[in-house]
């Protein structure tokens, strides 16, 4: 089967790094390019991180386009307390050999989606600012998008940045609302799904045992990522949220979910950024989202991820 063309919109982040590496390692996906956004870190840093990640994978020819430096209406909310000073801490990264492409991410999205002979799948791993701007600038691209798979939101699990809101949606709720209401097939990979997909305990040791540079980098990032999360949540291991989104695209048979109506709260005093899921069909509105809420075999997800990552470098 021909590889599925994808563009990855991202704000690396250790879990974004795993997601990008998994996508690059998967022959089922053809990564056309990466677009970056302010999220976990400021835009200059997420863009530099994206370059370092594609080069670590030996895929330096994959273009990286820098996008929005701030959410549509709100102030940026970098989280160095979660991801470290650089955002992909845990590995001694070589400086990127090449910079980002001159074209802005939003222009790149519009141009590529309109020009590509096939519809393209968007994998969205950060605040959804770039995608919302592209849809506002050129609404016709909605027809050119095969599906949007995004990591974000939480309904049954609540939030991880406020009681109601998950980070990617809280940072730019207006953007997420535009994306969810654009009439594009959407798969949401929320905390309901990622929390059901924790990495194996001490997975970093398993990764390090492979010995390659990519696997040692992954091991270092995993260790760093787990340290904060396990302390905060009192868990023995953490889910690699964004990598679970790529896993759900690659291996849908390992995940559960339901088609339903989802919207985003943008004005609530206590609930801004909440993804409101009509799980029991109260509204009668048409479905706009496949909302994933579980994983049938987390061990298998990470076994497959490990096998894919070990092919890189
Ligand atoms: C999401 O927030 C970011 O910190 C991670 O990279 C992920 O995309 C998880 O809530
Ligand atoms: Ca992310």
CATH code at position 230: 3.90.245.10
CB 43 within 8 A of CB 37: yes
**Total structural domains in the chain?**
1
Distance, CA of 266 to CA of 268 (rounded, Å): 6
Q: Is the dihedral angle over the CA atoms 308, 194, 60, 120 positive or is it negative?
A: positive
For residue 40, give the ligand 1 atom closest to its CA. 4
pLDDT of 83 reads 95
220 — pLDDT class (breaks 50, 70, 90): very high
User: What is the span of the domain harbouring residue 185?
Assistant: 4-309
Distance 42 CA to ligand 2 centre (A): 12
313 — pLDDT class (breaks 50, 70, 90): confident
Determine whether the shortest distance from the Cβ of 125 to ligand 1 is under 6 A.
yes
| pLDDT tens track for 141-176 | 999 999 999 999 999 999 999 999 999 999 999 999
Q: Which two tokens stand for residue 18?
A: 């795993």
Share of the chain above pLDDT 90, in %: 98
pLDDT of 125 reads 99
Determine whether the shortest distance from the Cβ of 10 to ligand 1 is under 6 A.
no
**Per 3-state DSSP, what percentage of the chain is helix, strand, and coil (rounded to 5)?**
40, 15, 45
Q: Which are the catalytic amino acids?
A: 241
1 — pLDDT class (breaks 50, 70, 90): confident
Distance 277 CA to ligand 1 centre (A): 20
Residues 6 or more apart in contact with residue 229 via CB below 8 angstroms: 82, 235, 238
| pLDDT tens track for 66-118 | 999 999 999 999 999 999 999 999 999 999 999 999 999 999 999 999 999 99
272-294 mean pLDDT: 97
């Amino acid at each position: 089967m021909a590889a599925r063309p994808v563009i990855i919109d991202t704000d690396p982040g250790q879990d974004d790094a795993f997601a990008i590496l998994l996508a690059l390692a998967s022959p089922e996906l053809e990564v056309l390019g990466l677009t970056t956004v302010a999220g976990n870190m400021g835009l200059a840093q997420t863009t530099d991180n994206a370059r370092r990640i594609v080069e670590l994978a030996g895929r330096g020819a994959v273009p990286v386009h820098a996008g929005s430096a701030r959410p549509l209406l709100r102030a940026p909310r970098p989280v160095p307390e979660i991801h470290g000073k650089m955002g992909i801490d845990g590995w001694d990264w070589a400086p990127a050999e090449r910079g980002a492409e001159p074209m802005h991410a939003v222009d790149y999205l519009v141009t590529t989606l309109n020009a590509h002979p096939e519809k393209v799948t968007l994998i969205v791993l950060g605040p959804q600012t770039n995608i919302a701007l592209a849809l506002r600038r050129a609404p016709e691209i909605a027809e050119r998008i095969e599906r949007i798979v995004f990591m974000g939101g939480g309904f049954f699990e609540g939030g991880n940045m406020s009681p109601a809101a998950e980070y990617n949606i809280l940072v730019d709720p207006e953007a997420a609302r535009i994306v969810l209401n654009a009439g594009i097939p959407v798969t949401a990979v929320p905390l309901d799904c990622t929390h059901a997909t924790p990495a194996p305990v001490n997975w970093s040791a398993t990764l390090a045992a492979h010995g390659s540079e990519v696997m040692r980098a992954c091991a270092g990032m995993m260790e760093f990522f787990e340290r904060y999360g396990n302390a905060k949540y009192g868990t023995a291991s953490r889910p690699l949220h964004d990598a679970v989104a790529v896993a759900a695209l690659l291996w849908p048979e390992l995940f559960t979910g339901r088609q339903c109506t989802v919207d985003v709260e943008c004005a609530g005093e206590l609930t801004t950024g909440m993804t409101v899921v009509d799980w029991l069909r109260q509204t009668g509105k048409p479905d706009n989202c496949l909302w994933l809420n579980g994983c049938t075999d987390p061990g298998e997800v990470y076994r497959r991820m490990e096998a894919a990552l070990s092919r890189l470098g």
